[in-house]
Each structure stands twice: as structure tokens, then as C-alpha cells.
Amino acid sequence: MFHFCTYFDRNYLLRGLTLYRSLNATGCAFQLHVLALDDETAEILGKLALPDVSCIALSELEEWAPELGVAKKNRRLIEYYFTLTPQLPLLIFARNPDIDLITYLDADLYFYSSPQPLFSEMGERSILVTPHRYPAHLKDHERYGRFNVQYQSFRRTASGLACLERWRTQCLDWCYDRVEDGKYGDQKYLDEWPDLYGQELAVLNHKGGGLAPWNWSSHPITLTAHGMEINGEPLIFYHFHGVKVFNPYFISNGLLDWGVMPRKQLRWFYANYLKEMRTTRKWITIRIGTELPMRDKSIRGTGIKLSSFGEIIRKAWAQATLAF
């Protein structure tokens, strides 16, 4: 059985449960450990009572790691969330002595096939990280980090635990949404891992893992009868970073800063992802009678600025994906 962990609040609840449904559709045996960042999320997960989802309340993590109290007071909410990333796998290891391998997932990932090839590539090594794989024209973005904190695995080994503990201490000390002194959020710290952990570290090479807005243009993408292939390898997951949901049929796909994806691929990825979120919303309503809103409250991270209403509409339309 694979053990995954993630965290989200009510604003990312639909994305988080769409991630869960995508994992479930691959047919792999897994347990998803979810850190619920607010009471509403914990309540809905409790009502759903999914057998392969374990819910951890934020208060539980904060009680286990009281050092978080200082960090919570000296950074913004999103920066505090970033601070939690290395804390969660450590808590799961502490609570579950039978778990030897835990994999962190961003809540806005979507799986198209089993992650088994990624674990096979990791082998017996202690740590796995996913590179951004920026194309040449986006290499300057590596100032934010060579690796992306979207999918990473840790074993309960000396190296795996030492990596998490070091990262935890670093994030407690400094974890802000800006580039400063060679640091950026929880992410830039990963740049030193190849030198620190050597042969214990696996850098993911499978092109079907880690496909994202910033690297899709680097690889041949082919739609076959069996699904999407990336450089001849099956697509495993896509990172829907920057997506902004305006309503159940209209999103900003967040691609404007990365390049215009061909329309056929755009609809295959983004229109279908929007449909999957709508399906997740109905799935929740059927099970617990609660209809979640399908409209993001914040436009942070979409490339849309509040300079004027016209500017919002112009940029939103430039990144628009419709699904009916």
C-alpha cells in the first residue's frame, strides 16, 4: 500500500478531493493522510468517512509541534502553510511506526495512471524529489528552486529522517513567499539535497511524473488510445498550478506566463480537470448533502491583477478554459 499525505483548507477542498478521486481511479491501494487546515475541511472529511483517507486536524499538528506557534505569528497564512510541509510527514512517521515510506502531494495534482513507476524509479533510496525541468527560455525561474515541492517521498531511514528534520528546522526559521539570500518559501532549501544526501537521493526522471505548466512544452505530448504519453512514457500526474475557478464552467488556467498550450491539449487537460472538479462537487453533495461553492475567493497566483475590472477580464479571458 502507498501512503500519501497532503494538506488543504476549504478553498482547496474540491481540488484535494479531486486528487483523492484521481488516485482512487488508478486502482492502486493507498492511504491518503490529509491535514485539514480549517474546521470546515475537517468536518466535511469527517462526514465523508472515506476508509482510505485519514484526517488530521491542524490543532493536532500544532500540539505535536508547539514551535509552530512562533512561526504562525510572524508570517502570512500562505507562508505558514508552506512551513507545515516538512512537519506533516514527520508527524505521520511519529504516529504510525508501521509506515516506512510517505509521499507528499500538492493538493492540485491529478493522477492519470498508477504512481508505481515512480516508486520503482526511487528503488531503495531514502528521498525522491521532482525537478521543475524548465525549458531553456524559463531557466531564470530556477531562482525559485531547482525542484518543485509537489511530489516527494521519504523513507523512515537515517537519511530520510535527517532530511525532514533539517528541512523542518529551516522552514521554522524562515519560510516566506519571496526570494531572499538564496531562499524561497519551503522550496529553495531542496537545492542543497543532492550534495547533502548523494546516493540516498533520487531525482525523478520519469517524464510522466511532474508534468506542469512550466515544462509541458519541453516534451513531446501524444494522445494515444491508452491515454496521454509524455516523451513516450505514460502520463502519471499533472500539476494544475495557477488554476483559478470562476464558476463551474469557467476557469483561468494560469498558463499565460508559461506559454500557450495547443487547444487540443488544453481542452484535454484543463476542460477535463474542470469537469472532474464538478463531478467531485456532485459526489460530495450526494454523500453528505453539502454543496460546496465552486468559485475561488482569492485570485493570488493566477497572474490576474486587480488594477482594473477590464484588466481582470482581459487576462482571465486570455487564460480561459470553458467546459460544458
Cβ–Cβ under 8 Å, residues 210 and 239: yes
Q: Would you state the torsion angle of the CA atoms of residues 9, 14, 19, 24, taken in this order, to the nearest 10 degrees?
A: 120
pLDDT digits 0-9 by tens, 224-245: 888 899 988 999 999 999 999 9
- Asked if residues 47 and 136 have their Cβ atoms less than 8 Å apart, the reply is no
Q: What secondary structure, in 3-state letters, does the chain show?
A: CEEEEEEECHHHHHHHHHHHHHHHHCCCCEEEEEEECCHHHHHHHHHHCCCCEEEEEHHHHHHHCCCHHHHHHCCCHHHHHHHHCCHHHHHHHHHCCCCCEEEEECCCEEECCCCHHHHHHHCCCCEEEEECCCCHHHHHHHHHCCEEEEEEEEECCHHHHHHHHHHHHHHHHCCCCCEECCEECCCHHHHHHHHHHHHHEEECCCCCCCECCCCHHHCCEEEECCEEEECCEECCEEECCCCEEEECCEEECCCCCCCCCCHHHHHHHHHHHHHHHHHHHHHHHHHHCCCCCCCCCCCCCCCCCCCCHHHHHHHHHHCEEECC
C-alpha to C-alpha distance for 48 and 50, rounded to whole angstroms: 6
Cα distance between residue 284 and residue 43, in whole Å? 12
**Residues 6+ away with beta carbon under 8 Å from 202:** 121, 122, 123, 125, 127, 128, 129
pLDDT digit string (tens) for the chain, length 324 residues: 999 999 999 999 999 999 999 999 999 999 999 999 999 999 999 999 999 999 999 999 999 999 999 999 999 999 999 999 999 999 999 999 999 999 999 999 999 999 999 999 999 999 999 999 999 999 999 999 999 999 999 999 999 999 999 999 999 999 999 999 999 999 999 999 999 999 999 999 999 999 999 999 998 899 888 889 998 899 999 999 999 999 999 999 999 889 889 999 999 999 999 999 999 999 999 999 999 999 987 533 333 333 444 554 555 555 565 554
pTM of the full structure: 0.92
d(CA 54, CA 19): 14
For residue 116, the tally of other CB atoms under 10 A from its CB is 12
pLDDT value of position 2? 98
Give CA–CA dist 277/246, Å, rounded.
Answer: 12
pLDDT single digits (tens) 270-303: 999 999 999 999 999 999 999 999 998 753 333 3
Q: Which CATH class is domain 2-241?
A: alpha beta
pLDDT of residue 316: 54
